[in-house]
Structure 1
Amino acid sequence: MNNSEVFRGPATWRIVLAALLDFFTAFFGIGYLLALIFGGRTEAGFHLKGGPALLAIILIVAYFLVFNKYLGGTIWKRILRAQR
């Protein structure tokens, strides 16, 4: 087997960067959206507690599960071509 037959996959830095950017995108996007809905917006951004905070955690986990399983990768994995 020569080098042209071996699939190396994406570089590790792409995978790590995509994961970090996906987490921040999901956290701030979902958090801000829920703050708009449930009234948790502040001058500095947003503040969630109780039920809305738990819902945010559930939706962030769902973001990763749904995008990776059914949509071929998360937003930043697709942008950075970091799918394995």
Structure 2
Amino acid sequence: MTHEQPVAHWRIILAALLDFFTAFLVLGFVVASLFGGMTENGFQLNGLPALVVFGLIFAYFWAGKRYFGGTLWKRILKVR
């Protein structure tokens, strides 16, 4: 039997926040580049492109948990 140490709650919350912001920025820039939403200060998405970004963010969290053993920041912060 292996006993896993409990993970600190702050690490779980930090990983979730960093994952969301990382996914939002990366996927936002990709979708904005494809749909013409780039601005001088970054990107701005409205309507369908914004829905696409949030759908991709959902897919990132779902696929990370289901297929990859955790999202990027969960793996970095060892929150599995």
Pick the TM interval, shorter chain. Answer: over 0.9
- Provide the alpha-carbon RMSD of the alignment: 1.1
Give the C-alpha shift of residue 50 in structure 1: 1.2
Deviations 1:27-76 (A, max 9, x none): 11100110011110001110011111111110000000001111000000
Count of residues in Structure 1 that have an aligned counterpart in Structure 2: 79
In the alignment, which residue of structure 1 is the partner of 2:63?
66
Q: SS of the counterpart of 2:49?
A: helix
Structural mapping, 1:22-37, within 5 Å: 22-37=19-34
Which structure exhibits the higher relative contact order, with contacts defined as CA atoms closer than 8 Å and separated by 6 or more residues? 1
User: Percent identity over the alignment?
Assistant: 54
- Which segments of 5 or more consecutive residues in structure 2 lack a partner in the other structure? none
- Which segments of 5 or more consecutive residues in structure 1 lack a partner in the other structure? none
Give the C-alpha shift of residue 6 in structure 1: 4.5
Which has more radius of gyration? 1
Q: State the TM-score, normalized to the length of structure 1.
A: 0.88
